[in-house]
Structure 1
């Protein structure tokens, strides 16, 4: 994760905010923080409540089915 870089609490908070946003792609998060989409998903799974994580993943999947370049 993040090429051996420790993420600060502020970084984690920013990544979560970006991941929850419908306007920020996984590619943008990877550019800024060096985390792949699977790294972001793992971070979200560890950080969010289980029900919040499931809701987020469902939304990402649904939007991804409708839009070619979503997340």
Structure 2
């Protein structure tokens, strides 16, 4: 049996945001929050409306940028350098 991971509301929000981002691979979510791809899928299923979940699953299934094994090996970052701007 797998260990249950408890997330704060802020962490939960960030995981959902990362899952929606096209260029953030599931591996980055696992490194940051300890959630596997299947954990993220379960979380998204639980937290989203059914239609939103189906739309998200359709978008990420087979998407090269969400799966490190399908990703161009020259890409080593999880997000665009301009995504997080300093204030």
- Report the TM-score, using the length of structure 1 for normalisation: 0.83
Which aligned segments of 4 or more residues in structure 1 are displaced greater than 6 angstroms? none
Compared CA separation, residues 42 and 5, structure 1 to 2 (3 A): closer
Deviations 1:9-38, CA, capped at 9 Å, x for gaps: 111000000000001000000000000000
- Indicate the residue corresponding to 1:33 in structure 2: 33
Which of structures 1 and 2 has the bigger CA Rg? Answer: 2
Structure 1: any 5+ residue segments left out of the alignment? none
Gaps of 5+ in 2: 73-87
Give the CA RMSD over aligned residues: 2.2
Shift, 1:3, TM fit = 4.3
Map 1:1-71; keep pairs closer than 5 Å.
Answer: 3-64=3-64, 68-69=70-71
Change (3 A) 1:62 1:5: closer
1:3 and 1:34 in contact (8 A); partners too? no
Deviations 1:25-66 (A, max 9, x none): 0000000000000000000000011000000000111524xx
**Structure richer in helix, relative to its length:** 1
